[in-house]
Amino acid sequence: MASPFLALEALDKQYPDHHAVRSIDLDIAAGEFVAIMGPSGCGKSTTLRLIAGLDQPSGGDIRIGGVSMRDVPAFQRNTPMVWQSLALFPFMTVAENVAFPLRMQKVGANERRRRALDWLDKLGLAGMADRHVSQLSGGQRQRVAIARALVTEPAVLLLDEPLSALDAHLRVRMQTELARLHKQLGITFVYVTHAQSEAFALADRIVIMSEGRIQQVGRPQDVYRAPANAFVAEFMGMNNLIRGDVRGVQGGLLDIDSRLGSFKVPMVDGRSAVGKASFVVAADRITLSAANDDGPAGGIAGTVLGLEFVGSVQTVFVEVADGIEFRVQKQQHEIEALDLVPGRKVNLSWDPRHAWLLPQAA
Provide the pLDDT for residue 312: 77
Provide the pLDDT for residue 1: 61
> At a CB cut-off of 8 Å and minimum separation 6, what does 263 contact?
242, 244, 255, 256, 279, 298, 352, 355
Provide the pLDDT for residue 260: 93
Distances (CA, A) of 307 to 140, 315, 341, 349: 36, 6, 8, 18
- DSSP annotation of 298: T
As a whole number of angstroms, the distance between CA 132 and CA 187 comes to 29
Average pLDDT (188-193) is 95
Average pLDDT (306-322) is 89
* pLDDT classification of 234: cutoffs 50, 70, 90: very high
Q: Is 180 helix (H, G, I), strand (E, B) or coil?
A: helix
Q: Could you report the per-residue pLDDT of 284-301, keeping only the tens digit for each?
A: 999 999 886 555 455 899
Q: pTM of the full predicted structure?
A: 0.88
* pLDDT classification of 58: cutoffs 50, 70, 90: very high
Please report which residue ranges of 106-167 form alpha helices under DSSP H. 109-122, 138-150
Distances (CA, A) of 75 to 52, 79, 100, 123, 319: 9, 8, 12, 24, 54
pLDDT at 238 over 70: yes
DSSP symbols for 16-71? SS-EEEEEEEEEE-TT-EEEEE-STTSSHHHHHHHHHTSS--SEEEEEETTEE-TT
As a whole number of angstroms, the distance between CA 81 and CA 64 comes to 15
Q: Kind and range of the H or E element at 275?
A: none
Complete domains list, the chain, with CATH: 6-225 (3.40.50.300), 230-357 (2.40.50.100)
**323 or 32: whose pLDDT is higher?**
32
- DSSP annotation of 201: H
Query: Starting from the edge strand earliest in sequence, which strands make up the sheet with 261-266, in order?
Result: 261-266, 253-258, 239-250, 276-282, 355-357
CA quadruple 77, 81, 87, 93: dihedral positive or negative? positive
Average pLDDT (122-130) is 87
Lowest-confidence range among 33-37, 73-77, 108-112, 135-139? 135-139
Number of Cα atoms under 13 Å in the Cβ half of residue 360? 11
What percent of the chain stands above pLDDT 90? 65
Phi, psi of 242 (to 5 degrees): -130, 130
Say if residues 325 and 319 touch (Cβ distance below 8 Å): yes
As a whole number of angstroms, the distance between CA 57 and CA 143 comes to 31
Mean pLDDT of all residues belonging to the chain: 90
Please report which residue ranges of the chain form alpha helices under DSSP H. 44-52, 74-77, 94-104, 109-122, 138-150, 168-185, 196-202, 220-225, 230-235, 332-337
CB count, 10 Å around CB of 242? 22
As a whole number of angstroms, the distance between CA 123 and CA 334 comes to 42
Provide the pLDDT for residue 141: 87
As a whole number of angstroms, the distance between CA 78 and CA 156 comes to 7
* pLDDT classification of 362: cutoffs 50, 70, 90: very low
What percent of the chain stands above pLDDT 70? 96
